């Protein structure tokens, strides 16, 4: 293994990534500009669950669950989602900081997902990460010159101390820590948040990277400093010909900063496309919800319909489309199941009041039956003093009160069967990421995973 693999532009190895067909489900080239830098196909990162009282068998947190996209040289791709969407894990996996459990990451003719750590190490010179918390990403006992110069040592890019200091000074100036002599011998605790993030940037670019994954790089900074750091990102991109993956939950900065955006929900990309198109015409209900939730001085007081609840548990994600329990426009095939009935009853009881809750919840003999995930048909056991007919009647009454709830679109049958309550749900299907509205000469700017978008 050469210690200084020269990967400068011209000569990618025999199996050039450019030759790969961009027929992946997420391939949404909007124009022909830029060669493909990274091609991610069907990427999965599952964290096995161990311990606990029960044999969990194959239970795993599917942090990233089948993600495909193309990253082109020189672009800024935003990975946007709430906590638990898998955006950070995806970003880390791109650099081999998390192990992929499936799929591939093609970069310069090699599959990063299968490389060993020793093989990845020399590549990290070209693949760098900026972490969220600048206070935590600098060693408090290392002065700035040493920290920033560290990659030069690791990758043996300089031979002597003088050259290293010179390079560090040059890089510090480049990120705005100027004059560099003022900062070289300082420790992280002497620096403000914005200055630390600049030092982190200096460390990331000093070895000459090609791709930077920035995980919420400005979210811990003050409002007035954010713009400065974002400007630095833009300047460095232009000066050094960088490609960025920008991981964030902040749609406003993503809108300004990114060329393309991938909206993630529970380990999947639900919508990916050009920033302009995503903001002008959000198609996935989740994207619409996210855009509608941004507090914005310019549209204050506009009433909005927020989806209920929060991101569900990734260990046992909802059936079908993971967003369906929160989706205001979900349809029959979105993946309705027993636990959605449990959630519906909880919502109903919040409105109906405590007395109704006590009386009505007592009619269910085995409340745990309302928390089951999966099967299309379920049988509910009535409580001792209750008949199945009474439970069906209760469900009918609840249905009348919650007629607008999308849940009922997924219920095909609800009747008494053998002393129990039989409920059948519509067949669920998992929406796949599909290219929408392709025009004749270019590929479509957006792909969406939703049954409502054909």
Partner 1 sequence: MTSADTEKGASRDAAPPSAPGPGPAGDLAAPVLSARDLRVWYGSERGPVTAVDGVSFDVRPGETLGLVGESGCGKSTLGRGVLGLLPPGTAVDGEVRFGGRNLVGMPPRELQRLRGPELGLIFQEPMTRLNPLMRVSEHFEEALRTHNRELTKAQVRDRALESLRGMGIPASRYESYPHEFSGGMRQRIMIALALVLRPAFVVADEPTTALDVLVEAQIIQILADLRRNFDTALVLITHNLGIVAEACDRVAVMYAGHIVEQGDAREVFANPQHPYTQELMRSTISLGTTGLHFIPGSPPDLANPPTGCRFHPRCPKAMRVCPQEPPPEVTLPSGSRTTCWLPVPDMTTAEGRRPLEAEEISLADEA
Instruction: Check if the beta carbon of residue 278 is closer than 8 Å to that of residue 287.
Output: yes
Q: Which stretch binds partner 1 (CB under 8 A): 20-28, 129-137, 207-215, 289-297?
A: 289-297
Q: Considering only CA atoms, which of 398, 287, 284 is closest in space to residue 334?
A: 284
Nearer to partner 1 by Cβ, of 147 and 289: the residue is: 289
Q: If binding is defined by CB under 8 A, does position 430 make contact with partner 1?
A: no
Query: Residue 326, exposed/middle/buried by CB under 10 A (0-12, 13-18, 19+)?
Result: buried
* Residue 280 CB, nearest approach to partner 1 (Å): 12
* Residue 289 CB, nearest approach to partner 1 (Å): 6
Q: Which stretch binds partner 1 (CB under 8 A): 26-34, 42-50, 292-300, 433-441?
A: 292-300
Determine which residue in the list 47, 187, 349, 422 makes contact with partner 1, applying CB under 8 A. 349
What is the β-pairing status of strands 420-425 and 377-380? antiparallel
Q: Considering only CA atoms, which of 311, 305, 306 is closest in space to residue 265?
A: 311
* Residue 193 CB, nearest approach to partner 1 (Å): 7
Q: If binding is defined by CB under 8 A, does position 280 make contact with partner 1?
A: no
Nearer to partner 1 by Cβ, of 11 and 300: the residue is: 300
Q: If binding is defined by CB under 8 A, does position 256 make contact with partner 1?
A: yes
* Residue 144 CB, nearest approach to partner 1 (Å): 11
Q: Which stretch binds partner 1 (CB under 8 A): 104-112, 352-360, 381-389, 425-433?
A: 352-360
Determine which residue in the list 69, 107, 131, 183 makes contact with partner 1, applying CB under 8 A. 183
Q: If binding is defined by CB under 8 A, does position 192 make contact with partner 1?
A: yes
Count other C-beta atoms under 10 Å from residue 423's C-beta.
Answer: 23
Nearer to partner 1 by Cβ, of 343 and 426: the residue is: 343
Q: Considering only CA atoms, which of 265, 267, 315, 312 is closest in space to residue 61?
A: 315
Pure H helices in 110-240: 117-123, 144-154, 161-174, 181-184, 193-205, 223-240
Q: If binding is defined by CB under 8 A, does position 224 make contact with partner 1?
A: yes
The whole-angstrom separation of Cα 285 and Cα 135 is: 36
- Of 138-177, binders to partner 1 (CB under 8 A) are 176-177
Q: What number of residues does the chain have?
A: 454
Structure tokens at 117: 């750590």
Q: If binding is defined by CB under 8 A, does position 288 make contact with partner 1?
A: no
Determine which residue in the list 72, 108, 164, 226 makes contact with partner 1, applying CB under 8 A. 226
Q: Which stretch binds partner 1 (CB under 8 A): 117-125, 249-257, 389-397, 398-406?
A: 249-257
Instruction: Check if the beta carbon of residue 451 is closer than 8 Å to that of residue 270.
Output: no
Q: Which stretch binds partner 1 (CB under 8 A): 36-44, 70-78, 114-122, 224-232?
A: 224-232
Query: Residue 105, exposed/middle/buried by CB under 10 A (0-12, 13-18, 19+)?
Result: buried
Q: Which stretch binds partner 1 (CB under 8 A): 119-127, 155-163, 345-353, 374-382?
A: 345-353
The whole-angstrom separation of Cα 314 and Cα 89 is: 13
Q: If binding is defined by CB under 8 A, does position 300 make contact with partner 1?
A: yes
Instruction: Check if the beta carbon of residue 41 is closer than 8 Å to that of residue 31.
Output: no
The whole-angstrom separation of Cα 286 and Cα 257 is: 21
Positive or negative CA dihedral for 359, 364, 366, 369?
negative
The whole-angstrom separation of Cα 69 and Cα 29 is: 10
Nearer to partner 1 by Cβ, of 35 and 296: the residue is: 296
Determine which residue in the list 279, 332, 379, 453 makes contact with partner 1, applying CB under 8 A. 279
- Of 26-55, binders to partner 1 (CB under 8 A) are none
Counting DSSP H helices and E strands in the chain, the numbers are 13, 15
CA distances from 363 to 112, 396, 419, 427 (A): 55, 14, 13, 28
Convert residues 102-141 into a mask of x (bound to partner 1 by CB under 8 A) and - (unbound). ----------------------------------------
Q: Which stretch binds partner 1 (CB under 8 A): 41-49, 66-74, 89-97, 297-305?
A: 297-305
- Of 75-104, binders to partner 1 (CB under 8 A) are 82-83
Q: Considering only CA atoms, which of 77, 75, 79 is closest in space to residue 88?
A: 79
Pure H helices in 95-159: 117-123, 144-154
Q: If binding is defined by CB under 8 A, does position 307 make contact with partner 1?
A: yes
Determine which residue in the list 87, 92, 164, 198 makes contact with partner 1, applying CB under 8 A. 198
**Residues contacting residue 30 through CB under 8 Å, at least 6 positions apart:** 260, 273, 274, 442, 443, 444, 445
Determine which residue in the list 227, 373, 437, 438 makes contact with partner 1, applying CB under 8 A. 227
Q: If binding is defined by CB under 8 A, does position 195 make contact with partner 1?
A: yes
Q: Rule CB under 8 A: which residues touch partner 1?
A: 82-83, 176-178, 183, 192-195, 198, 221-228, 230-231, 234, 249-253, 255-256, 279, 289-290, 292-298, 300-301, 304, 306-307, 310-311, 346, 349-350, 353-354, 357, 361
């Amino acid at each position: 293994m050469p210690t200084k693999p020269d990967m400068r532009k011209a000569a990618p190895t025999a199996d050039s990534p450019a030759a790969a067909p961009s027929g992946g489900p997420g391939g949404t080239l909007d124009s022909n500009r830029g060669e493909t830098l990274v091609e991610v196909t069907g990427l999965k990162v599952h964290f096995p669950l161990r311990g606990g009282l029960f044999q969990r068998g194959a239970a795993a947190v599917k942090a990233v669950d089948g993600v495909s996209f193309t990253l082109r040289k020189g672009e800024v791709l935003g990975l946007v989602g709430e906590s638990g969407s898998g955006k950070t894990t995806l970003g880390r996996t791109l650099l081999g900081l998390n192990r992929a459990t499936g799929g591939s990451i093609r970069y310069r003719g090699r599959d990063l997902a299968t490389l060993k750590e020793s093989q990845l190490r020399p590549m990290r010179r070209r693949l760098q990460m900026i972490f969220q918390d600048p206070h935590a990403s600098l060693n408090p006992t290392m002065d700035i010159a040493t920290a920033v110069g560290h990659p030069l040592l690791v990758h043996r890019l300089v031979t002597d101390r003088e050259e290293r200091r010179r390079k560090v000074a040059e890089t510090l100036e480049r990120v705005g820590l100027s004059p560099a002599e003022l900062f070289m011998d300082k420790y992280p605790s002497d620096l403000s948040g914005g200055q630390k993030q600049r030092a982190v940037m200096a460390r990331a670019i000093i070895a000459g990277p090609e791709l930077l994954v920035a995980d919420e790089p400005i979210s811990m900074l003050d409002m007035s400093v954010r713009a400065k750091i974002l400007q630095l990102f833009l300047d460095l991109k232009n000066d050094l010909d960088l490609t960025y993956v920008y991981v964030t939950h902040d749609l406003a900065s993503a809108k300004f900063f990114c060329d393309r955006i991938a909206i993630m929900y529970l380990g999947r990309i639900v919508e990916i496309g050009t920033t302009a198109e995503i903001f002008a015409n959000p198609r996935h209900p989740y994207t619409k919800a996210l855009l509608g939730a941004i507090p914005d001085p310019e549209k204050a007081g506009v009433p909005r319909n927020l989806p209920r609840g929060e991101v569900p548990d990734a260990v046992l994600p909802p059936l079908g489309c993971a967003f369906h329990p929160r989706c205001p426009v979900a349809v029959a095939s979105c993946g309705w199941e027993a636990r959605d009935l449990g959630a519906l009853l909880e919502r109903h009881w919040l409105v109906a009041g405590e007395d109704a809750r006590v009386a009505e919840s007592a009619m269910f003999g085995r409340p745990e039956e309302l928390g089951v995930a999966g099967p299309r048909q379920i049988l509910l056991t009535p409580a001792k003093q209750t008949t199945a007919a009474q439970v069906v009647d209760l469900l009918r009454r609840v249905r009348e009160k919650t007629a607008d709830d999308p849940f009922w679109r997924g219920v095909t049958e609800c009747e008494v069967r053998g002393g129990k309550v039989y409920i059948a749900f519509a067949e669920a299907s998992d929406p796949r990421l599909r290219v929408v509205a392709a025009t004749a000469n270019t590929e479509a700017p957006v792909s969406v995973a939703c049954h409502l978008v054909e």
